[in-house]
Amino acid sequence: MQFGEVKNLWSKKGNTSPLLVFLGHTDVVPTGPEGNWQSPPFEPSERDGYLYGRGTADMKANIAAFVTALERFCQEHPQSFSASKNGSIALLLTSDEEGPSVDGTVKVVEALIKRQEKIDYCIVGEPSSVNAVGDMVKNGRRGSLNGRIYVKGVQGHAAYPHKAINPIHTFAAALAELCQGQWDKGNQFFPPTTFQVTNLNSGTGAENVTPGALEAWINFRYSTESTADSLIATVEAILSKHNVDYKIEWRLSGEPFLTATGKLLKAVQQSILAETGLTTELSTSGGTSDGRFIAPSGAEVIELGLVNDTIHKVDECCSIADLSKLSNIYQGILQRLFGEE
C-alpha cells in the first residue's frame, strides 16, 4: 500500500473478527559517524552473543520475531483463520515511522477504515524491555503536542530601549509562568503532563542591538488528564495575560492512549510469564509510537519488544538469545488468543 514515496506492507490471513495485527517499521534513524562503529552499521555482525547493526533493536529484529512466530503458529494450526474459524491475523510494516509519519501507518489505517477492516488487537514491536526481554511492556503512551511561538518586537539600539520593543523581555514573564505551571497531576497510569522548551532563538548577533523577533518551540507530553485543546487554551491565555504580541502554530503529533485491561493484555502477560518467568511491568513512559494511529479505532494496543538500551546509539545491538524468547512470546500470545481447543 504505497502513499507518496512510502511503501507499506499489509498482509492478512482470515476474514473474520477479531483481528490481531503485528505492527512494525523498517526505517531507521541515521547512524551518526560510521567510523565510531565497531563494525559497519548496515552489515549485521555477531559478537559475543549479540547482533550488531543499525535497526537491530529498533526494530528489524522484532519484525523477524513476528514473522517466525506467525510461521510456526500457522504451521501448527493449519485450520485457524479459515472460513469456519473466528479470527484473523495481519502484519503491517511501514517505512515511515522514524521520519514524519505522514504516509505510513496513519494512511494505512485510513484505508482500512474505508474498507471496513477493523483492528481489534495490535502488538507493536517497539523495543519496550529495559533489562530483560519482557520485563516491561507499554500499555499506553502520552500525547505529544508541539507549538511554535513567534513573538513580535521592534528592533532598536540597546542604548535607547524606550525606542524599541525587546521581544525577549516581553516574552520572559510568560515563559517563566509556562515553565512553572502544573498542567495536571497525572493518574495511576500516566505521570503528570510535562512542558519543555526545545528551541529558543532571538537576536541579531550584535551586542548593541535589541532584536525585533523571537521564536520559541515548545512541546507537551501529556496524560489523559489533559487534552490538546485544554493545553492550547492555557498557553494562549498566559501569552495574552502578559500582553505578548505573538502568533503560534500548533501541531498535534499524537493523542494519548491506554489499554488498561482486556484479552490482549492478559495474553501478553501470561505469555511473558510462561517464557521468562517475569511478571511484566506496565508503563506509558517514553516517546510516541505508531500505536497512536491504531488506538483511536478502539483497538487494544500493547507495545512489546526487545531491550531498548542501545536504540538510536552507535553500535546498536540486541541479544541473539532474546530473539528466540521474543518469538516464543509472540507465538504464545497467538496461542492464547486463537489456539484451537
CA dist., res. 219 & res. 228, Å (int):
11
Alpha carbon distances (Å) from 96 to 18, 178, 254, 307: 26, 33, 15, 22
Cell of 270: 501470561
Which residue type does 192 have?
P
Residue 107, CB-side half-sphere exposure with 13 Å CA sphere:
19
Q: Which of 27, 135, 177, 184 is catalytic?
A: 27
Alpha helices in 30-104 (DSSP H): 61-76
Round to whole Å and give the CA distance between 196 and 218.
Answer: 6
- Which one of the listed residues 58, 96, 97, 315 is annotated catalytic? 97
Element (H or E) spanning 320, and its range? helix 320-338
265: which residues sit within 8 A by CB, 6+ positions away?
A: 139, 259, 300, 302
Query: In terms of Cα–Cα distance, which of 42, 50, 44 is closest to 322?
Result: 50
**Gap between the Cα atoms of 200 and 57, Å rounded:** 33
Distance CA 17, CA 31 (A): 41
Bridge partners, 81 (sequence order)? none
Q: Is 184 a catalytic residue?
A: no
CA distance 26 to 220: 27
Question: CB under 8 Å to 337, separation ≥6 — which residues?
Answer: 18, 20, 87, 121, 263, 264, 267
Residue pair 12/279 in contact (Cβ under 8 Å)? The answer is no
SS3 of residue 104 by DSSP = coil
Q: Grid coordinates 498566559 are at which residue?
A: 238
Clarify whether 215 is annotated catalytic: no
> Which residues are tagged catalytic?
27, 97
